[in-house]
A and B are shown apart, each in its own frame.
Chain A
Amino acid sequence: MASPIPRGRRTPWRRALRRDWQLYSLAVLPLLFFLTFRYLPMLGNAIAFRRFQPGGSLFGEYWTGLRYFRLFFTDPTFWSVFTNTLVLGALTLVFCFPLPIVLALLLNEVRNRALKRFVQSVSYLPHFLSIVIVAAMVLQLLSVDGTVNQMVSAVGGEPVPFMQQAGWFRTIYVSSEVWQTVGWGTILYLAALTTVDGDLYEAARIDGANRWRQTWHVTLPGIRPTMVTLLILNIGTFMAVGFEKILLLYNPLTYPTADVISTYLYRVGIVSGNLSYAAAIGLFESVIGLTLVLSANAISRRTVGTSLW
């Protein structure tokens, strides 16, 4: 052994630095990245409490306290975008979380390997497309002369200007999200399914379980850790509902259902230049997001025994 490492005891910093300085040196640039582009912006949130002037300091000019927070709590638009965020986040969770599990279970029952492989490959495909392309395709398919309206006409309906009606936005957003993510989401579940112990199925069969009960009592518990992990991760992105996609798909006519916190703060901050106000909204959003992940993680550790950390 070249350098036996005592277990259980910590090396003193001085020895560690002398021995591993080359390793630490490799970490310098990545750390610089994290500090500059991840942690500095976190501190930069200070401008939510300070008056920021374009071209001025990264952290603002002088303290304004909670002024910007009070501002958005009394802003009616804020409450409407807050509601939209919750609704879209909840719908996304309700559809985008379970559907990959269902698809993975169905794929797992396919005995023909070529067929299985083919279905999988096809269903991953949308994941590799840019959001811009997905949005462009959605706009084309749903335009007045698009495929969907041809079907509407075929069954005797009037063409619907889908993208111009607020009532349709949630359906469109969630469906396109499912289309794009469902296949990719199956990967982890399929991996988890292969690790379920085959003997358990045999035991269940001897106990008289039919295939449905085998799925219910053996397969699902077998992939539960994966399910919980992905659920927590999904909850973590709850508040950050597809900002980029909404930005590409929405328009003033669909604002009533499409405008979410992140798109609103984009307009307030970047478009109108009210950076401090927008930063306050963004900070509020991030804090809720973080709280959601932490609580989901804590709840799952207590109840299911699986947690991210």
Chain B
Amino acid sequence: MTSATLRSGAWKLLEMITTPLLPSDYLDLVSPLRAGADLRGRIEAVHPETADAATIVIRPGRGWRGHTAGQYVRIGVDVDGRRLWRAYSITSPTNRQDGRVTITVKAIPDGKVSNHLVRRAKPGTLVQLDQPTGDFVLPQAKPAKVLYLTAGSGITPVMGMLRDIDFDDVVMVHCAPQPQDVIFRNELHDLVTAKKLRLTEVHTDTDGMLDIARLGELVPDWAERETWACGPAGLLDAAEEFWSGHGVGERLHTERFRPGIVVAGDGGEVTFSATGKTVDADGATPLLDAGEEAGVLMPSGCRMGICFGCVTPLKAGAVRDLRTGEITEAEPGVLIQTCVSAAAGPCDIER
């Protein structure tokens, strides 16, 4: 017998011992970050950066495959007992000695997860992680001249890059309302002092918004620079137009933080993506009825919200609970009871 078959045999025996649970259910009690466990991390420290931003130091589980500078990670945090997933750029360098990674979070108004992480997260807390991902990364070959164009928390993926690799000629234009709102300001100024970075801060409260058309005044050779830009959609739209207008569109790399713009309405187009059917449903028709009428095979049960026999993944959009009026927005892993939920705008039900 090879050691692999021995191992799988031993694992099968373990499964028989722990049935109906899995061996991992018991191992999780003592070692949630071990190799082979679902990927998690433990918050080890929370460092305030500005009045509304903080850096969260996380020790990832053994299954963490590491990141490339500029990438982001999806993180599942329990807020008021409910698990919510968000994506944040990784701000730590890839070669950090202690194996920890950091994300830097800016609390946005009414942001459930961001406010929780910035103001209430405690060291010791376990969070769920996905492997890092994203293609807002540096190329293998070092560009001679680099421009980082950022605004607000758009600085976070760029900070991951700045900390990771030294380039010979780096310029950064960063926008924030006031000097005290500039995340990582001390560290940036240290880099300036060390002559590793040329920095222009645009303080929008006093200077007004950055006018991309006048970028040449700040960075005369912008068109020769490989540029990474991250910030609000308006800035990125303007940048893309400006770069491609000058025929250098391929030099610009942008990262858009997915804006949470699900607008909850009353009724909408319901897509049953597994069967490829689409129907228009009003705000009073349960999705179960809408699906059945369209000939989709829907799991069902009591039809009054008590048996949980109809729970189905909500892949996109928003639905309204017909009993409470509560709106549920699509997020990975979100399941809804189709018998008591109606479309609140366009939505996609995995059936």
A binds B: no
